Structure 1
Amino acid sequence: MCGMVTQARRSRRDETERTDGSSVLIGALAPLTRPGWAEAGRHLLAGLELAVHDVNEAGGIGGRPLELVVRDTAADPVRAAAAVDELARLGVAALAGEYHSVVARAAAARADALGLPFLCSSAVLDALTEQPTERVARIAPAQSHGWRLYADFLLGAGHRRVAVAAEPSVYWASGTRVLRDRLAPRGATVTALDLRALAPAAVCDALAAHRATALLLLAGHPEPAVPIVRSVRRDRRLAGITIGAPAGQPEFHEWATALGEDGAAIPFLRYLPERLTPLGERVGTALRERLAEDPSFVAFEGYDTVAVLADVLRPHGGDRARTAASWARVAVDGTRGRIRFSRTPGTGVWQWEWAPVQVVDRDPAEPGRFRVLHTG
């Protein structure tokens, strides 16, 4: 956490000291403090920073260095929108980043209103903008794509009685709708459990009453996800139930640290291919050194975001309008494959169609190792 705060302070200091306009500035949004998912933000920022370093080592943007101006969103949409206003005034050529979907949606709306190109790294909510826009593009797959694959995994594993324990959120409600739309026509039921009304013990009672075979955690980490996992694991009535976390909570070390063996065998969505590209292998090694741990898929999303922005900025420097008009021409070799954008119905933005998707869990025999259960 100290490193993240230091980065934010360094960025603010650079803004006041740099007055010659020599750098091409990219505004970077990430949740670096609570209640944001700070570990995801740290990985996202590591990927962004490494890519900026590599771009500058290769000559920058027409000989000008690329520079990040980082803002902590702390999972707050209002704070994110204010940060977009500030970054626009500071002269950034484009925006990058963000992990939380609701926050990214607020940032995208404000960036669009200001004419500022925004390449979203990790947020998956389908309707990232209320109206179609040419200014916003996204590296991560849309929620409907990934969560349909997750539903297919559940069906393939024989689950026909699925429960979702959800907090109130546009993101969680959208995920529940995707799952129900995919599962119901195939004979599966989806029971919604409202975490505003149910403590962990009551969740267990409801699961037993509904004879659910799978519980999906559509909830924040560590609260209330961790207490629910512990309660379910210790309830003898639920010994055979599968706990799932499609949003990816088990990807991060905080999950394994908090839950130990209880955090294994919980399938989640991970946006990595079976094999990284040669660039991805090199980047993975460098990210591991920066983070002092294995990089998550979010770190690779961060790297790919800057790789794409550098490609669209090079022909015309920091011109925002020309950058926003360049998504259709992108053809970049990223860490996880060739990146091209298209207009995807229902998203309103330019979309990499599609980033690779896996359903993965932590191996109960070795919780530090991941098992690939399903790909799409």
Structure 2
Amino acid sequence: MQTPPPPPVPSPSAGARTDGPPVRIGALVPLTRPGWAEAGRHLLAGLELAVREVGDTGGIAGRPLELVVRDTAADPDKAVAAVDELARLGVAALVGEYHSVVARAAAARADALGVPFLCSSAVLDTLTEQPTRWVARVAPAQSHGWRIYADFLLGAGHSRVAVAADPSVYWASGAALLRDRLAPHGGSVVELDMRALTPASVCDELAGRRATALLLLVGHPEPAVSIVRSVRRDRRLPGMMIGAPAGQPEFGEWAALLGDEGTAVPFLRYLPEHLGPLGARVGTALRERLGRAPSFVAFEGYDTVTVLADVLRSRGEDRAGVAAGWPHVDVEGTRGRIRFSRVPGTGVWQWAWPPVQVVDRDPADPERFRVLHSG
């Protein structure tokens, strides 16, 4: 006897109405260079879709949600100025941000002003210098995801790894995490300082070392794209694996710029191997909104507003009440049940953990992603 399929997750009712002044939420998003603008567009698409659906299902005590969006352009100073402005505008809370260094600046300012901040995508472990009750995070901490990536490298036989690194707290933290994870297994990390090297000289360095993998701890699209092209076309490096743990190959621009050369570059993605009914429905809606398959960043945006709407419905829009609601969150998101806890070393309320995968673009079909490792 066949087990009947579970009932479908209903879509939000288009007939529900909201009235009264909107509950305003400030959204920090990188939408222009030097920010990863495509990541920002995906993040904003997820935020906007969830805001619309909250309104379609009665809003917050009958009032609609309204996003007040500010472009951070990957600039910490712009983010701090945006937090100041949004606080003056009376937003109930802040959401968003993709870049870790920018999110850290925004979190510190939000903490100082007493404005709740639910971080969507930035992963740097320590978002604030001291533990704070004002900040929570949907994305996993960098130490969690990058350790899983290091385990993937070891499992694939890569114990001597080179990293092409730009100067940044985020990249330096990633290199240190990889080194600490590989060292007990006899592995090592060789750092190539991109302040002193060109993509061509990276190849010269690799040719003289015994590294079997090169990881891109650099900005996108440049110098990441030029480094990939140089390594792929260098006859001295036929077996060199290229990896990008921060997720550059997730986005369509990567495939458009590199084509086949951008395949087989493993990166971290925060999605389950199979989406449940809610995730599948949201994924379809996000695809329609974006005109292409949504990245994990779009799902992070959707989950952020889902969590915040639940807190606002139960706690009201008073800022202190919102912050007091983080430890009581228990919400079904697109990628699993979301609850917050205090994870040592983060200082914020943390979802521990979203699903983590190591994936790459399939050389046989660059639009298809292969799951190489899960953690």
TM over 0.5: yes
Which secondary structure does the structure 2 equivalent of 1:338 belong to?
Answer: strand
Name the CA distance, whole Å, in 1 between partners of 2:273 and 2:263: 20
Q: Distance in 2 between matches of 1:283 and 1:35?
A: 29
* Pair 1:59 & 2:37 matched: no
Give the structure 2 partner of residue 292 of structure 1: 291
> Any residues of structure 2 matched to 1:167-206 within 5 Å, and which?
167-206=166-205
How far, CA to CA, are the matches of 2:367 and 2:201 in structure 1? 31
Among all aligned residue pairs of Structure 1 and Structure 2, give the percentage whose two residues are the same amino acid: 80
Which stretch has the larger CA shift, 115-124 or 201-210? 201-210
Letter in 2 for 1:229: V
Matches within 5 A, 1:140-219: 140-219=139-218
Aligned to 1:276: 275
For the residue of structure 2 that corresponds to 1:62, the secondary structure is: coil
Match in the other structure for 2:119: 120
Shift of 1:363: 0.2
Query: What are the within-5 Å matches in structure 2 for residues 99-110 of structure 1?
Result: 99-110=98-109
Contact 1:277 1:334 in 2 (8 A): no
Q: CA deviation at 1:234?
A: 0.4
Contact conserved, 2:268 with 2:358, CA < 8 A, in 1?
Answer: yes
1:125-144 equivalences in 2 (<5 Å): 125-144=124-143
| Correspondence for 1:258 | 257
Matching of residue 344 in structure 1 with residue 343 in structure 2: yes
Tell me, what secondary structure is at the counterpart of 1:230? helix
Structure 1: any 5+ residue segments left out of the alignment? 1-19
TM-score normalised by length of structure 1: 0.94
By how many angstroms is 1:201 displaced? 1.1
Contact 2:20 2:62 in 1 (8 A): no
Deviation at 1:316, TM superposition (A): 3.1
Ranges in structure 2 where 5+ consecutive residues have no aligned partner: 1-18
Q: Check whether the contact 2:48–2:67 (CA below 8 A) recurs between aligned residues.
A: yes
Aligned to 1:24: 23
Give the Cα separation in 1 of the matches to 2:248 and 2:199. Answer: 18
How many residue pairs align between the two structures?
357
What amino acid maps onto 1:83 in structure 2?
A
Shift of 1:21: 7.3
After superposing on structure 2, the runs of 4+ consecutive aligned residues of structure 1 that deviate more than 2 Å are: none
Asked whether the equivalents of residues 102 and 171 of structure 1 are also in contact (C-alpha less than 8 Å), the reply is yes
**Aligned equivalent of 2:48:** 49
In 1, the alpha carbon distance for the partners of 2:20 and 2:51 equals 17
Distance, in Å, in 1 between the alignment partners of 2:332 and 2:96 is 19
- After TM superposition, the score normalised by the length of structure 2 is 0.94
Of 190-199 and 315-324, more deviation after overlay is shown by 315-324
